[in-house]
Amino acid sequence: MLRIEDTDQSRYVDGAEQYIVDTLNWLNLPADEGVGFGGDCGPYRQSERKETYKKYALQLVQTGHAYYAFDSSEELGAARDKTPNFKYDAVTRKEMRNSLTLSIEEIEKLMAADVPYVIRLKIGGEAVVKFKDIVRGEVAVHEKELDDKVLFKSDGMPTYHLANIVDDHLMGITHVIRGEEWLPSTPLHVLLYRSLGWSKTMPQFAHLPLLMNPNGKGKLSKRTGDKLGFPVFPLAWVHPTEDKTGSGFKEDGYLPEALINFLAFLGWNPGTEQEIFSLDELVAAFSLERVTKAGSRFDIDKLNWYNQEYIKKANDQELLKIFLAVKPKDISTDEKTILSLIPLFKERITFPADFWDQASVLLGKPTMFDQKVLKKKWKPENIEHLHKIKAQLQALPNFTQEKTAEIVKGYIGENNLSFGNILQPLRLLLTGQSGGPDLFDVMAILGKIEVLDRFDYAFEHFPKS
């Protein structure tokens, strides 16, 4: 379910809702219901459910579990100045302006004058709140450590605390799974469920470990991603009014399946050696009981490995669509040619853009040549043998991978030559590179005319000695 929690209108950002929907769709995790997807529990924007929250806030007041607080910002400021580490609780509320200290007549007068007020939860301050967290185990917090949180604000909007408890109950939520920074708020939420009479339907809680920077120090941040050159946003994001941007995993060439697989293993493991999981396999294997308590290091190298593995296992037709989406404008070729090249490079690349970097030498003559190989292997004695190999290739009627390999390897063997002294300069003149896919696959794809033409270019332009 996709629920938009927009009770804090000061933090509203235009376009953020659609960004969330687009992200879920890209990750192949579309919501079953919610904003952008429909459903029977709507409206799914909390800003459109204000009357529902007000109803339950007033219910809490009527049952003695909450109260009106009329304190102005100046009064609250004075209380904080007077009392170090001030919190609005069972002790300090006795000195404040609220419906627990005012007479009925005073309360009615303030209400009639439209004096702003908030509704606060009334916490006893004497008991211990206990609950079970699936990840953390048994948790116990004394009420005296809690403050009387605001549930309903003076602007007519609920706080996160009230809105989420009401929505989770009405929408049938069974598990609340969130970051560990929310653990201190959970006792308050447990008290809210009890105060509203919903203890029996209270969801289970699970507080996940934080995602840490790659070095294991500090919480993962956009600043770290920018510094180390990797994204932290799923899709590229440009703030509509502020000078804030963020690169996205999608635009940087990560496959959604690889990203999901990687994220699933942050703070969780299946208890086996298996690392590659389809989404269905993750659903079957996952359990909150195997989530760790310790923070999980965001290892970008591991994500890159996942991306490489998913490219390897993808079928060529799928990769064709992915590669075409990032094809440089200055490369002109057809889909048939691309399909013929994919098997040569899919085992060697990490990102879709890498395909074009490596395959470009097969789609056009190389313009740069590995100078180290040129200096070391382009020797007169090797050049003489390459001339003779070219002559045999020229006479070859069937220019296939098998036949070209037979000619070149046969020549090397018959003349007791070093494979490195022949194959390395041969690869250099054909691709400009020192490494790459199978050399004879490359020759078969280039074709006889292009191969011979690249021989001639090397003989004409490379140093003679």
Secondary structure, 3-state, the chain: CECECCCCHHHCCCCHHHHHHHHHHHCCCCCCCECCCECCCCCCEHHHCHHHHHHHHHHHHHCCCEEEECCCHHHHHHHHHHCCCCCCCCCHHHHCCECCCCCHHHHHHHHHCCCCCEEEECCCCCCEEEEEECCCEEEEEEHHHCCCCEEECCCCCECHHHHHHHHHHHCCCCEEEEEHHHHHHHHHHHHHHHHCCCHHHCCEEEEECCEECCCCCCECCHHHHHHHCCCCECCCEECCCCCCEECECCCCCCCHHHHHHHHHCCCECCCCCCCCCCHHHHHHHCCHHHECCCCEECCHHHHHHHHHHHHHHCCHHHHHHHHHCCCCCCCCCCHHHHHHHHHHHCCCCCCHHHHHHHHHHHHCCCCCCCHHHHHHHCCHHHHHHHHHHHHHHHCCCCCCHHHHHHHHHHHHHHCCCCHHHHHHHHHHHHHCCCCCCCHHHHHHHHCHHHHHHHHHHHHHHCCCC
Residue 5 lies in a domain: no
Looking up residue 425, the CATH number of its domain turns out to be 1.10.10.350
Where does the pLDDT of residue 427 fall: very low under 50, low under 70, confident under 90, or very high at 90 and above?
very high
Q: 162 pLDDT exceeds 90?
A: yes
- Mean pLDDT (the chain) is 95
- Does residue 55 share a domain with residue 204? yes
Looking up residue 278, the CATH number of its domain turns out to be 1.10.1160.10
Averaged pLDDT, 307-311: 98
Domain that holds residue 403: 371-461
Task: Express as a percent the part of the chain with pLDDT over 90.
Answer: 90
* Whole-structure pTM value: 0.87
- Does residue 297 share a domain with residue 318? no
Task: Express as a percent the part of the chain with pLDDT over 70.
Answer: 100
Q: Which two tokens stand for residue 40?
A: 């029977």
Residue 9 lies in a domain: no
- Of the residues 54, 222, 302, 379, only one is catalytic, namely 222
Residue 27 lies in a domain: no
Q: 294 pLDDT exceeds 70?
A: yes
Residue 412 lies in a domain: yes
Residue 172 lies in a domain: yes
- Does residue 393 share a domain with residue 336? no
Residue 43 lies in a domain: no
- Does residue 180 share a domain with residue 257? no
Q: 199 pLDDT exceeds 90?
A: yes
- Per residue in 42-90, pLDDT tens? 999 999 999 999 999 999 999 999 999 999 999 999 999 999 899 999 9
- Does residue 152 share a domain with residue 62? yes
The question of whether 222 is a catalytic residue gets the answer yes
Q: 337 pLDDT exceeds 70?
A: yes
Question: Can you tell me the distance from the alpha carbon of 319 to that of 411, in angstroms, rounded to the nearest whole number?
Answer: 37
Averaged pLDDT, 149-157: 95
Residue 33 lies in a domain: no
Number of domains in the chain: 4
Question: Can you tell me the distance from the alpha carbon of 101 to that of 198, in angstroms, rounded to the nearest whole number?
Answer: 29
- Does residue 113 share a domain with residue 75? yes
- Does residue 192 share a domain with residue 71? yes
